[in-house]
C-alpha cells in the first residue's frame, strides 16, 4: 500500500511522517513518532485509553485517521508535562496500573479548559467516555477537583 508524506503539528512541533491513508492517528503516534503515551485498548472507541487532544477537543485516536490530523493542532500526554491535572493525578494517587491514565489525563485536561466551573454532575458526565479497570473513579474525580480553578460542588 502506498504512503504519503504529511506534516503534523504535535505538541507544538512540526513532525513530518510517511503514512498510509488507512493508518490511524494512534498507530502513527506510537509506531512512527515514538509517542507511546496514547495507549491501544479496545481500538473501537469505547475505552478512552488512546485519548489525545485535537484543536482543543478530546479525541479517540483509534477512531481518527492520521491524514485527518493534517492542519490541526494535536496534543498528546507527552505535551502535558507539569500541567495542573498531571500533577494532581500524582498527588491524589489517581491510578494503579496506569494503563488508562494518559487517556484520563487528556480527557480531564480538556474538561478543565472547557469548563473551569465544572460541578460534580459535569465531571461525572465527562468521565463516562473513559474506562478504568483497576482504580477507583473517586481518586480521579478528586484530581480533577483539585486542578479545576473554579470548582463548584454540585447539588
Ligand atoms: S483504544 Fe481507542 S477508545 Fe479504546
Ligand atoms: S489504573 Fe489500571 S486500568 Fe486504570
Give the per-residue pLDDT at 8: 97
Distance separating alpha carbons of residues 119 and 56, to the nearest angstrom:
20
Residue nearest to atom 3 of ligand 1 (CA): 45
Residue 121: partners with Cβ closer than 8 Å, 6 or more residues away: 154
Cell of 5: 508524506
Sign of the CA dihedral running 92, 29, 66, 27: negative
**CA pair distance 12, 22, nearest whole angstrom:** 24
pTM of this structure: 0.95
* CB count in 10 Å sphere of residue 85: 23
- Separation of CA 130 and ligand 2 centre (Å): 10
102 lines ligand 1 (CB under 6 A): no
Whether ligand 2 lies within 6 angstroms of the CB of 40 is answered as no
Ligand 2 centroid from CA 140, angstroms: 11
Instruction: Find out whether the beta carbon of 50 lies less than 6 Å from any atom of ligand 1.
Output: yes
On the question of pLDDT at 4 being above 80, the answer is yes
| Beta carbons of 101 and 37 less than 8 angstroms apart | no
pLDDT in tens, 11-66: 999 999 999 999 999 999 999 999 999 999 999 999 999 999 999 999 999 999 99
pLDDT digits (tens, 9 = 90+) for 71-82: 999 999 999 999
- For the chain, the average pLDDT equals 95
The predicted structure's pLDDT at residue 138: 95
Listed residue (13, 47, 23, 7) closest to 127, CA to CA:
47
What is d(CA 48, CA 53) in angstroms, rounded to the nearest whole number?
12
DSSP per-residue letters across 57-108: EEEETTSSBGGGGTTSEEE-GGGGTT-HHHHHHHHTT--SS-SSHHHHHHHH
**For residue 155, what pLDDT band results from cuts at 50, 70 and 90?**
low
Centre of ligand 2 to C-alpha 95, Å, is 6
CA 67, 4, 2 angle in degrees (round to 5)? 115
Amino acid at each position: 500500500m502506498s504512503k504519503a508524506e504529511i506534516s503534523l503539528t504535535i505538541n507544538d512541533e512540526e513532525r513530518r511522517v510517511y503514512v498510509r491513508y488507512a493508518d490511524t492517528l494512534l498507530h502513527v503516534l506510537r509506531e512512527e513518532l515514538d509517542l507511546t503515551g496514547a495507549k491501544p485498548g479496545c481500538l473501537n472507541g469505547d475505552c478512552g485509553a488512546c485519548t489525545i487532544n485535537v484543536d482543543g477537543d478530546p479525541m479517540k485516536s483509534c477512531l481518527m485517521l492520521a491524514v485527518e490530523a493534517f492542519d490541526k493542532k494535536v496534543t498528546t500526554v507527552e505535551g502535558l508535562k507539569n500541567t495542573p491535572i498531571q500533577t494532581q493525578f500524582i498527588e491524589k494517587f489517581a491510578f494503579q496500573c496506569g494503563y488508562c491514565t494518559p487517556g484520563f489525563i487528556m480527557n480531564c485536561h480538556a474538561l478543565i479548559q472547557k469548563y473551569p466551573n465544572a460541578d460534580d454532575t459535569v465531571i461525572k458526565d465527562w468521565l463516562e467516555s473513559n474506562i478504568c479497570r483497576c482504580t477507583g473513579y473517586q481518586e480521579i474525580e478528586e484530581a480533577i477537583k483539585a486542578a479545576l480553578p473554579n470548582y463548584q460542588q454540585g447539588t
